[in-house]
Amino acid sequence: MDLILASASPRRRELLDQIGVRYRCEPADIDETPRDREKPGDYVLRMAAEKAAAVAGRHRDEGLAVLAADTSVVIDEDVLGKPADRFAGLGMLARLSGRSHSVLTAVCLHGPDGISECELVATRVEFVQLSREMCEAYLATDEPWDKAGGYAIQGLAGAFVSSIEGSYSNVVGLPLAETWRMLSARGIAGALGG
């Protein structure tokens, strides 16, 4: 069975490559605006399901499976998206500084039979206290600009993390244990078999 990854994220591609899954990429390009009073977990689940459905809809009757995911950084029940500018980036890092937050990723696998399975994974991440100088230096790099919450745990911002509870790959953008389980249940196992 062929698999489409409904994402343009290089991090999700790297994670699928890591477990030897063969796929092709096709971004969903959907409206990602949160609904009024939508809870963060409901938001990421809806986004992943809508991305999978949008791409699957382009390939009806082709026998393809579509994998989609959506990741949000959540603090005080607020979803932190990708920083639009330096000011937004500073605000996000200031909120995360010295505190713990959640990283939520929803993964959705839409099978060729039209049946979708979605799962929500949460990881708790705690940051060290960040100085203004640290934040400014980090924002001077290319790293934070296309990342939820304005940081990449797999890059320089790994130095900001004092503890993590849960899936590391979830924070990067695709929880591998849950993704592998979903794929192998559909016969898309990659290098690990299934």
Domains of the chain: 3-186 (3.90.950.10)
At 109, the amino acid letter reads: L
Structure tokens at 19: 């477990």
Q: How far apart (Å, rounded) are the C-alpha atoms in residues 126 and 163?
A: 5
> Which of these is catalytic: 31, 36, 70, 78?
70
Q: What is the per-residue pLDDT across 68-87, written as a single tens digit (0 to 9) for each? A: 999 999 999 999 989 999 99
Walk along the chain (194 residues) and give the pLDDT tens digit of each residue: 589 999 999 999 999 999 999 999 999 989 999 999 999 999 999 999 999 999 999 998 888 999 999 999 999 999 998 999 999 999 999 999 999 999 999 999 999 888 999 999 999 999 999 999 999 999 999 999 989 899 999 999 999 999 999 999 999 999 999 999 999 998 886 656 65
Q: What is the per-residue pLDDT across 102-134, written as a single tens digit (0 to 9) for each? A: 999 999 999 988 899 999 999 999 999 999 999
> What is the model's pTM?
0.92
Does the annotation count 2 as an active-site position? no
CA dihedral (44, 192, 22, 116) positive or negative: negative
